[in-house]
Structure 1
């Protein structure tokens, strides 16, 4: 009656996406990006370290970064921590008490944590439009295209896409920025959207060459030089940063900042090569790999 432990599978490649029936052109000035149900609770049913979830997170972070660069509003769905059983109604029969059993897992996962200016909507049913101001908000903003990424593909993501279509809002499902119960269900969601309700596109098709690196070398150099109280022009990029005085708290803070923009380095990796140039080489490689 609850969500099962979910197996990993290989994220579908854009070459395997179904052909779209319509040729709608994506317009950033008309779009809103919906990050669907990426709460600790729902992600916890996967092995978070699996290639599937790491690809999902990398692509969602890249899309969010792109959206902030081009001015696309970012909206989240998030089930409330405490839900009255009568309010859940038929969801009780299908999925049990849900988050009521694990309220500590209610937050959006750290890699995608909402930032200032983002909107978080309470989620009550499969579709993000049900009992929410999403349609009204989009109307107020003059936007009629909805980018969709998150989990689970054949449930909330698909139902939201279909609901958007029925409200004359064009849904664009990012086929490699959703995850599902299984590959067949993932493929079914893409097939239905592409042939019945919207457009399926990839992270690369969406972002293309328009996305700028989340972290620039000059900005990071200035930030670290400031942390160690050293003038940028005198800072030695090949010097040991620990010897410079950078402490573990500052390093963990940097790692947290980087993870929010898709740089998934850990403390051990950067402690083994504690110079700015070596850190930058690893960051640059990840940013190039995300293009």
Structure 2
């Protein structure tokens, strides 16, 4: 199978967030931003000009702009096009051959194209840590908090958040800056993500980053 048909669905708001299990606070001196799989192939499967993709892109743009302004490392993880069966492994049984060789299918969407100084990592599985140097990159930058946004919430986002937690990086999953194939899968992912990290909204995370900066400058 390939990507399923995705219908429009509302983005969750603060009232939909699962109960917090930890009291971690975002710190711009410790945090990095991971933008996961926001490629034309995946984002283009959502209904254009409707929820959730409109909010998804707008909120990731806002997170990326503030991350750049505050000096947070910005990392993009992206699936490579034309993976041979030996590389794709069992993922092919579940999700088909993946991104083909169509022009720009594997490219990061235009509003979020990586800039000089940002990092682009190839991922061969949903988990952005697996078979990549994401962990080494974060440690080399002195970062132990990871803000996670992108698609899909119940796959790459959730698995990456769980692996961040297992490797002692505090994950912050931004509920309205991730999207999924259905509202049900999105909600499920947020509930599970709350068991290994912080689930927050874009606005609350942006405020937290700015407040911490103001406290340090006071």
Query: Could you state the TM-score of these two structures normalised by the residue count of structure 2?
Result: 0.93
Describe the SS at the equivalent of 2:104.
Answer: helix
Contact 1:33/1:74 (<8 A) preserved: yes
Stretches (4+) displaced over 3 A: 101-104
Equivalents in 1 of 2:208, 2:193: separation in Å?
25
Equivalent in the alignment of 1:27:
27
1:90 aligned onto 2:90:
yes
TM-align CA RMSD: 1.3
Q: Which residues in structure 2 correspond to 1:242-281 (within 5 Å)? A: none
Relative distance call for 1:209 and 1:31 in structure 2 (3 A) is: closer
Aligned partners of 2:26, 2:8: CA distance in 1, in Å? 30
Report if aligned partners of 1:35, 1:148 keep a CA contact under 8 Å in 2. Answer: yes
Alignment partner, residue 223 of structure 1? none
Match of 2:196 in 1: 197
Output one character per residue of 1:109-151: Cα deviation in whole Å (capped at 9) or x when no partner: 0011111111000011111000100000111111110000000
Q: Give the match's secondary structure for 1:99.
A: coil
SS in 1 for 2:100: helix
Partner of 1:18: 18
Q: Distance in 1 between matches of 2:145 and 2:173?
A: 11
Give yes or no for contact 1:41–1:102 (8 Å, CA) kept in 2. no
**Secondary structure of the corresponding residue to residue 29 of structure 2:** helix
**Equivalent residue for 2:59?**
59
Contact 1:35/1:77 (8 A) holds in 2: yes
Residues of 2 paired with 1:210 and 1:81: CA distance? 35
What stretches of structure 1 of length at least 5 have no aligned partner?
Answer: 212-291
Residues 180-219 of structure 1 correspond to what in structure 2 (within 5 A)? 180-194=180-194, 196-208=195-207
Q: Aligned residue pairs: how many?
A: 210
Per-residue CA distance 1:156-210 (angstroms, 9 max, x = gap): 000000010011111000011000011111111111111x100011111011286
Q: Following the alignment from structure 2 to structure 1, what is the Cα–Cα distance between the partners of residues 209 and 145?
A: 19
Greater share of strand:
2
Q: Conserved in 2, the CA contact under 8 Å of 1:81 and 1:100?
A: yes
**What is the deviation of 1:100?**
2.5
* Alignment partners' CA distance in 2, 1:165 and 1:186: 20
Checking the alignment, whether the CA contact within 8 Å between 2:82 and 2:98 is kept in structure 1 is no
Give yes or no for contact 1:161–1:171 (8 Å, CA) kept in 2.
yes
Q: 1:101, CA displacement in angstroms?
A: 5.6
Q: Secondary structure at the match of 1:8?
A: coil
| Structure 2 spans left out of the alignment, 5+ residues | 211-218
Contact preservation (8 Å) 2:146, 2:170: yes
1:210 and 1:135 mapped to 2: Cα distance?
Answer: 22
With CA pairs under 8 Å and 6+ residues apart, which has the higher RCO, 1 or 2?
Answer: 2
Q: Aligned partners of 1:70 and 1:49: how far apart in 2?
A: 30
Q: Does the 8 Å CA contact 1:145/1:170 hold for their aligned counterparts?
A: yes
Distance 1:101 1:3 in 2: 16
Higher Cα Rg, which structure: 1
Alignment of 1:210-229 (within 5 A): none
